[in-house]
Chain A
Amino acid sequence: MTMHKRLQRALGKGASHLVIVVFGVIMLYPVAWLIASSLKAGNTIFSDPGLIPKSVTLEHYIKGWAGVGRIHFSKFFLNSFFVCFWVIVGNLVSCSMAAYAFARLRFKFKGLWFGIMMLSIMLPAHVTTIPRYVMFNSFRWVDHPAYLALILPKLLATDAFFVFLLVQFMRGIPKDLDESATLDGCTRAGLFLRIILPLSGPALVTTALFSFLWTWDDFFNQLLYINTPQKYTVPLGLRMFLDATGSSNWGAMLAMSVLSILPCFALFFSLQKYFVQGIATTGIKG
């Protein structure tokens, strides 16, 4: 390679870095501003575009954490974690079972069911929203203290998307393993528990991860099925905060917003590779 060409290539790379960095800074500015402003003193922070607080204070966090209407903000967090935990359990169990059948077993009408399952991923949820509400209302699951309306559907693999994700992954597990295990007298259930599940680790992590994120951020269903502030989850708590404090206490509002996105950040940075894998192999919406 000639000097000239090498120089050209280096310049090209430099330009790429520059564009990516400048654009990245612009993109991240809103989030950076959110975090910086939650630490700034006073209540005139909103017109100030700066990112470096003159003095760092936790006053907004202390005020916000005290909550609204005598409900501590920690209550909303506990409620959200409770719902997320059971949603994750439900999705892992029910979706991996269905995925195993689709990926590994031969049965009648498999093609038909698989097609239906794929179609149900694209189905807009609103078509079932009202009858489900009527049904759950008749079961007295609206505003249920154990959030049955939010959790039970997950035990029935209604998030078919994860079934698809797990099917894709399980199809990649070498078949000879099953065959030798079957020859050794392993049953279908044994195969699932001893071979397929342990080898599906990465896909199960991805499932758990996105189950958490989507439930943590889900507003629509929580709005429908939770009515009393004591049972509010984080999104509803934030919204109540917004309504109750109006423009009077934006600092606390922003501080609680920061706290509400922290769990997502933490998971994202600790489990990054599962994100990329999950999105790239199945094309997660978002």
Chain B
Amino acid sequence: MRQRRGLRRRGDADNLAAYLFLTPWLLGFLVLTLYPMAQSLFYSFTRFDILTPPQMIGAANYVEMFTKDKTYIKSLEVTFSYVFLSVPFKLVFALLVAVLMNQRLRLISFYRTVYYIPTLLGGSVAIAVLWKKLFSGDGVINSIISALFGVKPPAWIAHPKYAMYTLVLLTVWQFGSSMIIFLAGLKQIPGEHYEAAAMDGAGKVKQFFHITIPALSPVILFNLVMQTISAFQAFTQAFIISNGQGGPLDSTMFYTLYLYLEGFHHWEMGYASAMAWVLLIIIAVFTALIFKTSGAWVDYGSGE
């Protein structure tokens, strides 16, 4: 008992040391996160061009966004379709490949390395430039398609109907991180579960849906949340592919790209701040929704 109390007292004495160690982070959080957040909330109710002081205009920015600004509505459409396409495809792909790789095969770590390469490079300007060239009218993808099928395909990047899909493809291509997280999760599933199921006559497909998916559901939840959050914020690739314009016909006008243009090209910083807050709310709502539904499909292994 006495010893316990001694330990406890020493624990309290950590306060000073702990806060000293936390100082850089605390300063950063207060000065570079919390204060700017409050400030951007304030800006969102103003007109502000950085050169002159902000002018209060009430909720006008928000009203303008949802009632008058067609480009804004378009950017929402583009971003939502991008998120809804790229995230599920990326996760399904990552999961299937992870299952395929979760075998005792020779060269498996080499394969894993190779499959991670697109993720390693995908976020760079270099790869965006490459994509732009690959999917252009006279690009390699079209040479291959016309050689194989004898048709003349459109210029994907320059076509308002298809430009966004090239970006979805680029994102799905980078499934490496999700794959590695899934692989780590798969390694945790005890082999006996599969053996027992096989004894009961369950085939591979049935095992996948009845053992793998439930056991992996916490990892799926994690990947789903993280990928959704980052997909809403996609920027670089759309910027490079559309020369920073979001074209053709605003078809690659991602939310953050429009925010950038409003804030730093038109210097409508009040408007851009309002956009940022709406984005925060959208992301928070989606995250909450995902967590809310997770009770129904995530299995934390209570039965074990």
Whether A113 touches B125, Cβ cut-off 8 Å, given contacts A31-B117, A220-B236, is no
**A97 pairs with B24, CB closer than 8 A:** yes
**B35 pairs with A279, CB closer than 8 A:** no
B108-121 vs A, CB cutoff 8 Å, 1 = contact: the mask equals 00011111111111
13 A–B contacts from the bound complex (CB under 8 Å): A47-B143, A49-B143, A94-B24, A97-B24, A101-B19, A126-B279, A130-B263, A156-B25, A156-B27, A219-B125, A269-B113, A286-B123, A286-B177
| Residues on B with beta carbons closer than 8 Å to the beta carbon of A31 | 117-118, 121, 130
**B125 pairs with A239, CB closer than 8 A:** yes
Total chain A interface residues with beta-carbon distance under 8 A: 95
**Distance A253 CA – B132 CA, assembled complex (angstroms):** 12
**CB < 8 Å: which of B29, B40, B176 contacts A131?**
B40
Q: Is A243 an interface residue (CB 8 A)?
A: yes
**B15 pairs with A157, CB closer than 8 A:** no
**B101 pairs with A192, CB closer than 8 A:** no
**A286 pairs with B24, CB closer than 8 A:** no
Q: Is B277 an interface residue (CB 8 A)?
A: yes
Q: Is B276 an interface residue (CB 8 A)?
A: yes
**Distance A269 CA – B119 CA, assembled complex (angstroms):** 14
Within 8 A of B (CB), among A9-42: 13, 16-17, 19-20, 23-24, 27-28, 30-31, 33-34
Among listed A53-61, A65-73, A200-208, A255-263, interface-contacting one: A255-263
**B105 pairs with A17, CB closer than 8 A:** yes
| Residues on B with beta carbons closer than 8 Å to the beta carbon of A20 | 100-101, 105, 111
**B100 pairs with A16, CB closer than 8 A:** yes
**Distance A116 CA – B33 CA, assembled complex (angstroms):** 11
Shortest CB distance B107–A (Å): 8
**CB < 8 Å: which of B17, B116, B225 contacts A275?**
B116
**A235 pairs with B124, CB closer than 8 A:** yes
Output the nearest chain B residue to A49 by Cβ-Cβ distance: B140
Output the nearest chain B residue to A110 by Cβ-Cβ distance: B18
Q: Is B154 an interface residue (CB 8 A)?
A: no
**A283 pairs with B223, CB closer than 8 A:** yes
Whether A98 touches B33, Cβ cut-off 8 Å, given contacts A28-B117, A48-B143, A130-B40, is no
Give me 6 other A-B pairs in contact (C-beta within 8 A), A98-B22, A110-B18 excluded: A130-B40, A158-B33, A160-B25, A188-B17, A219-B240, A286-B177
Whether A261 touches B126, Cβ cut-off 8 Å, given contacts A137-B50, A163-B25, A242-B240, is yes
**A46 pairs with B136, CB closer than 8 A:** yes
**Distance A258 CA – B121 CA, assembled complex (angstroms):** 10
| Residues on B with beta carbons closer than 8 Å to the beta carbon of A74 | none
Q: Is A123 an interface residue (CB 8 A)?
A: yes
Within 8 A of A (CB), among B236-281: 236, 239-240, 243, 256, 259-260, 263-264, 269, 272-273, 275-277, 279-280
B12-55 vs A, CB cutoff 8 Å, 1 = contact: the mask equals 10110111011111111101110111011001000000100000
**B114 pairs with A13, CB closer than 8 A:** no
Shortest CB distance A89–B (Å): 12
Q: Is A134 an interface residue (CB 8 A)?
A: yes
**A131 pairs with B43, CB closer than 8 A:** yes
**Distance A47 CA – B145 CA, assembled complex (angstroms):** 11
Q: Is A148 an interface residue (CB 8 A)?
A: no
**A123 pairs with B28, CB closer than 8 A:** no
**A283 pairs with B14, CB closer than 8 A:** no
**B21 pairs with A97, CB closer than 8 A:** yes
**B223 pairs with A116, CB closer than 8 A:** no
**A127 pairs with B124, CB closer than 8 A:** no
**Distance A116 CA – B125 CA, assembled complex (angstroms):** 33
**CB < 8 Å: which of B31, B40, B130 contacts A156?**
B31
**Distance A157 CA – B236 CA, assembled complex (angstroms):** 24
**Distance A257 CA – B225 CA, assembled complex (angstroms):** 32
| Residues on A with beta carbons closer than 8 Å to the beta carbon of B24 | 93-94, 97-98, 155-157
**B181 pairs with A279, CB closer than 8 A:** yes
**B126 pairs with A258, CB closer than 8 A:** yes
Shortest CB distance A129–B (Å): 7
| Residues on B with beta carbons closer than 8 Å to the beta carbon of A6 | none
**Distance A261 CA – B276 CA, assembled complex (angstroms):** 31
**Distance A124 CA – B263 CA, assembled complex (angstroms):** 16
**CB < 8 Å: which of B229, B235, B243, B287 contacts A219?**
B235
Output the nearest chain B residue to A268 by Cβ-Cβ distance: B120
**B139 pairs with A47, CB closer than 8 A:** yes
